[in-house]
């Protein structure tokens, strides 16, 4: 099972965007000034983002906002790169999604297997997350579901 199938199975019943066309990926890469990390290209060719259990965009759509996200990977990444007060490491990262409570997930383009969680309130600090994107998203989904169960 590839990562796209794994994600669709983990998040069955949640909204997914239609697959991107290779020309969409090329346009995003042109706007960003570099290739997308390979795992992201594979995912976007299978679906254009998806929403998680918090109704937040766990995976941002690539080029334009959708019904489940008011931003896109390209738009948010370029906004983070466009301000001097954001940490320098964001110049070599792409913002890929969030879970609706502040922090976002980013992938460093030089080390695409490295997933970070960062919040603007943290300044230059960030948390390095363990595992693949599927692991990170599954862990956050399980955390959210445990919080909801604890309230009932």
Which pLDDT belongs to residue 150?
67
Per-residue confidence in pLDDT tens, the chain, 152 aa: 789 999 999 999 999 999 999 999 999 999 999 999 988 999 999 999 999 988 899 999 999 999 999 999 999 999 999 999 999 999 999 999 998 888 999 999 988 788 999 999 999 999 999 999 999 999 999 988 888 766 65
Nearest residue to 109 via CA among 98, 94, 130: 94
Where would I find the beta strands (DSSP E) of the chain?
Answer: 50-51, 57-59, 93-98, 104-108, 115-118, 127-129
Count of structural domains within the chain: 1
For 56, list phi and psi in degrees, rounded to 5. Answer: -95, 160
Length of the chain: 152
**Domain span at 118:** 3-151
Kindly report the CATH number assigned to the domain that includes residue 96. Answer: 3.40.1580.10
Instruction: With 0.75 as the threshold, say if the pTM is over it.
Output: yes
What does the buried/exposed string (b/e) look like for 77-114 if buried means 16 or more CB atoms within 10 Å of the residue's CB?
beebbeeeebeeebeebbbbbbbeeebbbbbbbeebee
* CB-based contact 48:20 (threshold 8 Å): yes
């Amino acid at each position: 099972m590839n990562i796209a199938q794994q994600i669709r199975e983990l998040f069955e019943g949640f909204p997914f965007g239609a697959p991107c066309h290779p020309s969409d990926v090329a346009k995003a890469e042109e706007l960003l000034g570099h290739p997308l990390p390979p795992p992201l290209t594979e995912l976007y060719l299978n679906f254009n983002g998806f929403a998680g259990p918090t109704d937040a965009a766990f995976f941002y759509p690539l080029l334009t906002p959708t019904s489940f996200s008011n931003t896109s990977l390209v738009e948010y990444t370029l906004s983070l790169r466009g301000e001097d007060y954001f940490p320098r490491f964001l110049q070599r990262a792409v913002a890929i999604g969030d879970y609706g409570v502040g922090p976002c997930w980013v992938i460093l383009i030089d080390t695409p297997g490295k997933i970070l969680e960062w919040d603007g309130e943290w300044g230059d600090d960030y948390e390095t997350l363990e595992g693949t994107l599927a692991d990170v998203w599954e862990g956050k989904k399980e955390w959210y579901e445990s919080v909801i169960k604890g309230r009932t």
